Amino acid sequence: MSTTSEAGSTERHADLGWHGLDRNAPEIVQQREYLQANGGLRDVEILDPSEIDRAVKIFRRDGFVLVRDALDADQTAFLRKGVVEVVDDIVALDEQRGGNRGSHRYSFGGSSVTRSMLHRPEWQMLIDLATVTPIVTAIFESSDYMLRSASGDFCLPGAVGYQPLHSDIRDFEPDGSTPFSSFHDPRGSHTIRDIPCPYVCVNFLPFDQTVLNGPTRQIPGSQHSRAPIPTLDEEPEWMRLSTVCPAPAGTVQIRDVRAWHGGTPNLSNELRAIPNLEFYAPWFREPVVPGITYADHKALSEHAQHLTRFSVIDSSEELPSGYVVKPLPKRS
pTM beyond cutoff 0.75:
yes
Residues in Cβ contact with 194 at an 8 Å cutoff, skipping those fewer than 6 apart: 224
pLDDT in the model for residue 9:
57
pLDDT in the model for residue 34:
98
For residues 325 and 106, is the Cβ–Cβ distance under 8 A?
yes
Residues in Cβ contact with 156 at an 8 Å cutoff, skipping those fewer than 6 apart: 13, 16, 17, 18, 19, 91, 97, 104, 105, 266, 271
**Residue from 261, 281, 246, 227 nearest 331 by CA:** 261
pLDDT in the model for residue 185:
84
DSSP H/E element including 30: helix 26-38
Residues in Cβ contact with 280 at an 8 Å cutoff, skipping those fewer than 6 apart: 145, 146, 147, 148, 198, 199, 286
pLDDT, tens digit only, all 332 positions of the chain: 333 455 555 556 777 899 889 999 999 999 999 999 999 997 889 999 999 999 999 999 999 999 999 999 999 999 999 999 999 999 999 999 999 999 999 999 999 999 999 999 999 999 999 999 999 999 999 999 999 999 999 999 999 999 999 999 888 777 766 556 677 788 989 999 999 999 999 999 999 999 999 999 999 999 999 999 999 999 999 999 999 999 999 999 999 999 999 999 999 999 999 999 999 999 998 888 899 999 999 999 999 999 999 999 999 999 999 999 887 666 54
pLDDT in the model for residue 309:
96
Residues in Cβ contact with 30 at an 8 Å cutoff, skipping those fewer than 6 apart: none
pLDDT in the model for residue 3:
38
Q: How far apart are CA 147 and CA 201, in angstroms?
A: 10
For residues 28 and 17, is the Cβ–Cβ distance under 8 A?
no
Residue 193: what residue type? R
Would you identify the CATH topology of the domain 6-281+291-307?
Jelly Rolls (2.60.120)
**Strands of 272-280's sheet, edge to edge?**
46-47, 64-67, 252-256, 199-204, 272-280, 146-155, 105-107
pLDDT in the model for residue 171:
81
